[in-house]
């Protein structure tokens, strides 16, 4: 059976409420818990895309590898501080508001992620998030992808030997 419905993703193809929210099936305005959908986005989108898209500097995890997945709390806190989103009372960063903006950008396509077809291996270079980021941001991904092991897989970016670049917030 063929069903042609542009922009519609049936909930039977998704595994969780967070994934349905990221696919645009559920409205972001009715979001109660912002952490699960943001964790999904943080796993899918490389750090360099967050940094280039929003002009923020996302902290690197303790492993010291730049290619490691982004910590969702770090990216939300940094983004909220950069945009001036604060909570009432203690004036801490409003991560819930930051999450809504990030999720809206993800659903609208500002943060690009391509799902591979079921027959294609996830490790295929055509669907590697860093390869897609290479086209998105230009030369900065070249530096990340230059650090490869014998099999051609990225090993990570050694921050100790890298030049620090100043990233300005908007």
Residue range 18-63, pLDDT digits in tens: 888 888 888 898 889 999 999 999 988 888 889 888 999 988 877 7
* Residue 36 domain flag: yes
Q: In angstroms, rounded to a whole number, what is the distance separating the alpha carbons of residues 73 and 36? A: 11
Percentage helix, strand, coil, to 5, in the chain? 45, 5, 50
Nearest CA-CA partner of 106 in 135, 74, 75, 61: 75
For residue 138, the model assigns a pLDDT of 59
Contact 144, 154 (CB under 8 A): yes
Tell me the residue range of the domain where 44 lies.
17-159
For residue 119, the model assigns a pLDDT of 79
Nearest CA-CA partner of 145 in 60, 45, 48: 48
- The count of structural domains within the chain is 1
* Residue 5 domain flag: no
pLDDT tens string 112-130: 777 777 777 766 666 666 6
* Residue 117 domain flag: yes
């Amino acid at each position: 059976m063929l069903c042609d419905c542009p922009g519609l993703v049936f909930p039977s193809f998704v595994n969780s409420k967070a994934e349905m929210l990221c696919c645009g099936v559920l409205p972001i305005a009715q979001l109660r818990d912002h952490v699960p959908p943001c964790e999904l986005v943080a796993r899918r989108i490389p750090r360099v895309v967050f940094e280039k898209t929003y002009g923020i500097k996302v902290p690197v995890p303790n492993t010291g590898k730049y290619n490691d997945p982004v910590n969702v709390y770090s990216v939300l806190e940094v983004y909220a501080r950069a945009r001036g989103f604060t909570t009432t009372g203690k004036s801490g960063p409003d991560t819930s508001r930051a999450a809504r903006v990030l999720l809206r950008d993800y659903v609208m396509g500002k943060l690009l992620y391509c799902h591979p077809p079921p027959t294609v291996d996830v490790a295929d270079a055509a669907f590697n998030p860093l390869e897609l980021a290479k086209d998105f941001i230009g030369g900065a991904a070249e530096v990340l992808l230059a650090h490869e092991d014998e099999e051609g897989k990225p090993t990570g970016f050694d921050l100790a030997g890298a030049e620090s670049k100043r990233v300005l917030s908007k």
